[in-house]
Amino acid sequence: MKEIVIASTNQGKIKEIKAMLNEIGIEVRSIQDVFEKEIDIEETGQTFQENALIKAQTICNMINKPTLADDSGLEVDALNGAPGIYSARFMGHDTSYDIKNQYIIDAVKGKERGARFVCAMALCIPHEDPILIEEYFYGEIYDHIEGENGFGYDPIFYVPELHKTSAALTLAEKNQYSHRAKALRKLYQILKGKP
């Protein structure tokens, strides 16, 4: 396999995946490199894995090339796993993460603070069974917003063993502990063994 198309427009995500897969000689192309117009795929799955598979399979069927998609988000124990698969759409697409983060901080006051980031990846290769990977990053909801790195819910996701939020981690720390980094390492090992 010489090339993989990433079913994403998230430049940060694409950069992370490129950095890892270029090491084993796999060229990574984004969905924007392949299609002139924006492709809108409805995520109708009930789990992160189902949504990743829907995205990867849809693009793979359209272009007949290996396609990788990921679906990730935050699950908060005190909110019964919310925002979960609706992490990006939680409280509405146009609601800023400052507002979403403050809402979650307020919602868990005096409750169990446990939380985890989930990353599900699906790699669809024409005429092969899909490869599915799911990894986690455990922590808790912090009592305030802190940190300048990362995006989304990173500023309220506290990592007890590192004594800081995900948004305060260095890139090296994030690449060691994060849900996406763990999933990418697993994918790397699988692809390294493929002819």
**Residues of each annotated binding site:** 8-13, 42, 71-72, 151-154, 174, 179-180
Q: Is 40 a catalytic residue?
A: no
Q: In 3-state terms, what secondary structure has residue 146?
A: coil
Q: Residue 68, by phi and psi: left (phi above 0), alpha (psi -120 to 50) or beta?
A: beta
Element (H, E) at 101: helix 97-107
Is the separation of the CB atoms in 108 and 82 below 8 Å? Answer: no
Of 40, 70, 71, 143, the active-site residue reads 71
User: Can you read off the two tokens belonging to residue 130?
Assistant: 């899909």
Give the whole-angstrom CA distance, residue 134 versus residue 132.
7
Which residues are tagged catalytic? 71
